[in-house]
């Protein structure tokens, strides 16, 4: 489990079809074999250490759902939460739902406004003022196009400077993970709840 608060950036190198090597460009903290690290929002397990970086094995499913197959670029890195850590962002699992694309960036007072397209695998989990992880960065949905096909976020200068969001150009792909709470709510409403009429009594019975 992660928070979506990036610690440092790193460079990813592709070694074969399913093996990656990541070189942190700063102090990521003490790594040990088996640790979980979010790499551009994708949860990977440290398989080996050495040479100023760590290795990881990526499944074909992960490569299909994310941008990790593209080596030689900067990625956002975050170690997993430990018991007692502060939760400054939102709960991020590191299980990417799909790849979106940057549509445009505009400067605004005290923030950068970034607009992204959204694949159908992510759109159901987006709500205005809700949480979204973009390349592993915890952000708040500022505006949402009807149907969820596009959304925008306001990125504060600190986040912009310390993540790879600053290097994105229009058309660039990004990893997107919807809020896990939204996923459970969507699953519930699209299955059992939709078989019955939603009334105040029904919601009370379900604990709401």
Average pLDDT, the chain: 90
* CATH topology classification for 98-190: Elongation Factor Tu (Ef-tu); domain 3 (2.40.30)
pLDDT above 60: residue 48: yes
78: closest CA among 159, 178, 182?
159
- CATH fold match for the domains 8-79 and 98-190: yes
**What was the pLDDT predicted at 204?**
79
pLDDT at 87: 79
CATH code linked to domain 8-79: 2.40.30.20
pLDDT digits (tens, 9 = 90+) for 66-115: 999 877 789 999 999 888 787 788 989 999 999 999 999 998 778 999 99
Residue-wise pLDDT tens digits, 29-38: 889 999 999 9
The whole-number pLDDT of residue 203 equals 73
Which residues have CB under 8 Å from 76's CB, separation 6+? 6, 9, 38, 39, 40, 41, 135, 136, 137, 163, 164
The domain ranges of the chain are 8-79, 98-190
Contact 174, 132 (CB under 8 A): no
Q: How confident is the model at residue 195 (pLDDT cuts 50, 70, 90)?
A: low
Report the pLDDT averaged over residues 33-50. 96
pLDDT tens column, 111-145: 999 999 999 999 999 999 999 999 999 999 999 98
DSSP structure class, residue 94: S
Q: What is the reported pTM?
A: 0.87
The alpha helices in the chain, defined as continuous H runs, are 60-65, 157-162, 180-190, 200-205
């Amino acid at each position: 489990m992660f928070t979506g608060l990036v610690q440092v950036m790193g460079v990813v190198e592709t070694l074969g079809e399913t093996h990656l090597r990541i070189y942190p460009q700063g102090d990521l903290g003490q790594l040990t074999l088996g640790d979980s690290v979010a790499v551009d929002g994708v949860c990977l397990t440290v398989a080996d250490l050495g040479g100023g970086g760590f290795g990881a094995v990526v499944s074909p499913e992960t490569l299909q759902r994310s941008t990790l197959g593209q080596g030689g670029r900067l990625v956002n890195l975050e170690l997993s939460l430990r018991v007692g850590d502060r939760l400054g962002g939102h709960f991020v699992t590191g299980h990417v739902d799909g790849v979106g694309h940057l549509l445009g960036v505009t400067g605004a007072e005290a923030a950068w406004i970034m607009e992204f397209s959204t694949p159908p695998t992510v759109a159901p989990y987006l709500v205005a003022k809700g949480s979204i992880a973009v390349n592993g960065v915890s952000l708040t949905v500022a505006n949402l196009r009807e149907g969820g096909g596009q959304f925008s976020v306001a990125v504060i200068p600190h986040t912009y400077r310390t993540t790879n969001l600053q290097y994105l150009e229009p058309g660039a792909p990004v990893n997107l993970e919807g809020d896990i709470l939204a996923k459970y709510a969507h699953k519930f409403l699209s299955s059992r709840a939709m078989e019955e009429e939603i009334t105040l009594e029904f919601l009370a019975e379900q604990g709401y």
